[in-house]
Structure 1
């Protein structure tokens, strides 16, 4: 297997005629359960995976930053730290590093110019949070490079998404990328930002199936978040002690149905039931009741179809195939939705055969190609001297 440090060293020297001083990497993530619950102060069960964004860096004089991402384009891109107050047009990938640098400067962190080489094996626009992995790899690298002693790396990534990119996302992606632990799931709650790790049973595996339906989440994501906030505002008129949808239970929601619009009710029902599924999953994992754990994934996807309306025909077909396969314990969309990936829970011994089966049947039924691979757990972001 190629050593990423050595490969990066060669590529960096070819590009910049100098040696990098630091190497950082951050994993992508899978949302196992807890769809759109993070920005509603709820609960999420996630997994940092063995797909990473890797960055080699060195400091330079002045304020010019030079970046190369050879998988995206062959040219070195540049920006000046004094002129990054607004994003570039046309969803340019350079907006992520520009946004991170901008937020750091807004937080009174002194930066000079730097050079960076960026590679990744995380599928783009698929729901595995390639953007958060880039943010956390870069923040971790810049933290070490400039000795910033950051304690809020996840929040810096979120601020980049919210205020620079324009996607009103929660913190789950960044927290998982930072705090993943090999052989464990990450259980996170978003009122007090409490994190804990649950062992991921060795008997299980996650097969990721990518529809290659690219999703641009900013518009739909922001709309769904606004609908959740609207539902909370309506509910809190009669129940002022409600601070987020995390505080709502199913009896209260059903009782309040007539005061909510159809959209508000459905969005809230999804979030409330997702929080419940995260809690149920913990007990099923402890007792190794994998059948019931898997069934929660199917329930979650059904709620995405009916209540949150963030699925698509390709994802629904994949989950339908999963439902009919004795090798699959559960499946659902993962991440923001509207395309991207589905996750399929199998026994470890069945994972490879199931991956072939599901892509074959999908191709037969849809005439389209999907790719499948087995994902393993990984540790969170790391940074080392080169």
Structure 2
């Protein structure tokens, strides 16, 4: 943060008055369950986005991204509509969402940096939304419960960007706990508990380098499929509001009323909710091998039932089954490209990752990248 403050001062000729940071996240289990009001096991990572600002008079805002030295400028009275493929949308969208709640953000000069990989599935967009929001809170005296800050970020994605995503990304970025995964319930919108990753194990993130752009992907179509299936199931089971309320047994009985596609989408989501709760049970019993098997099962369901995987992601997961030290692997995040996560023993994590990358390059010709991820704390902000 100190480096960002120094760069800010050099560029703007003054010091920022507030600074905030928000981490990226990893979805451990619970793929596409958040907007179905289900359960997710996730964590914040140590890679984060830092955002510093100083309020200014008037309506004109400037933001400098010190990663590539790009600058965005806009007037607060002219931000109602997103500009296609522009990173400042994630900041302008936060201001628009706050305005809907009757909350005013003043003009500012801002600077940002990030170590969260872009378009990879670690939620660089949620990290930026959250860091900006937390900075605005400190600078302009905004008081909102943490869960509402997550809803602001979700509103940016849903309303400003047109991606009908759930709350997982922002929730994980805000509520993350160092060295622990969080079990979240997206009906009550709360963290039910934290679950420690047993000592001696690490999460290796392998980026397939096939960038995903969820706004342009079939993400919204998947959500429609889930809602259509839930509507039909509610006709058979009055207590069903979303797929979260359906058991695997009920789904099998109701299969004739669903299209094949609706059945497979529902099977993925219902299966994921089941796997999340099973994971907590296995971790409590210190059954790390069983926990890892759930990762493989989750990915197979993504591949076959939800069809949000890619050849590149599938091959990275296949490699995990043959490279020594791999206990489990799956795609993480929305899918359609991005990253796989691998559960490995910490002792051989780097060697494992290098072998996976070598196998991937031999098959695809692509130089993938890896990160041995440490589980980090959630977002924070401070006055300077």
TM interval, shorter chain, is over 0.9
Aligned: 1:31 with 2:27: yes
Q: Provide the C-alpha distance between the structure 1 equivalents of 2:190 and 2:142, rounded to a whole number of angstroms.
A: 24
Structure 2 partner of 1:383: 381
Q: Secondary structure at the match of 1:292?
A: helix
- Residue 128 (structure 2) pairs with residue 134 (structure 1): yes
What is residue 163 of structure 1 aligned with on the other side?
159
Residue of structure 2 aligned with 1:58, choices 54, 57, 63: 54
Q: 2:91 aligns with which of 69, 88, 97?
A: 97
Residue of structure 2 aligned with 1:145, choices 139, 144, 153: 139
- Indicate the residue corresponding to 1:294 in structure 2: 292
Distance in 1 between the 2:291 and 2:71 partners?
47
- Alpha-carbon offset, residue 76 of structure 1: 2.3
| 8 Å contact kept, 2:58–2:107 | yes
| 2:168 paired residue number | 172
Long gaps (5+) in structure 1: none
Question: Are 1:33 and 1:44, in contact at CA under 8 Å, matched by a contact in 2?
Answer: yes
Per the TM alignment, residue 378 of structure 1 is displaced from its structure 2 partner at its CA by: 0.5
SS at 1:82 equivalent: helix
1:317 is paired with a residue whose SS is: helix
Cα RMSD, aligned residues only: 1.0
Paired positions, count: 380
Distance 1:220 1:326, change over 3 A: same
Tell me the distance in 2 between the aligned counterparts of 1:378 and 1:22. Answer: 21
Quick check: 1:18 aligned with 2:9? no
Match of 1:339 in 2: 337
Q: Which residue of 2 aligns with 1:83?
A: 78
SS in 2 for 1:256: helix
Of residues 142-151 and 232-241 in structure 1, the stretch that sits farther from structure 2 once superposed is 232-241
Runs of 4 or more above 6 Å deviation = none
- In structure 2, C-alpha distance between the alignment counterparts of 1:142 and 1:224, rounded to whole Å: 34
1:43 aligns with 2:39: yes
| Residue among 205, 208, 211 paired with 1:208 | 205
TM-score, scaled to structure 2: 0.97
Query: Aligned to 1:86, what secondary structure does the other structure show?
Result: coil
**Cα offset, 1:376, TM superposition:** 0.3
Shift of residue 238 of structure 1?
2.0
User: Offset at 1:234?
Assistant: 1.2
| Stretch deviating more after TM superposition (191-200 or 328-337) | 191-200
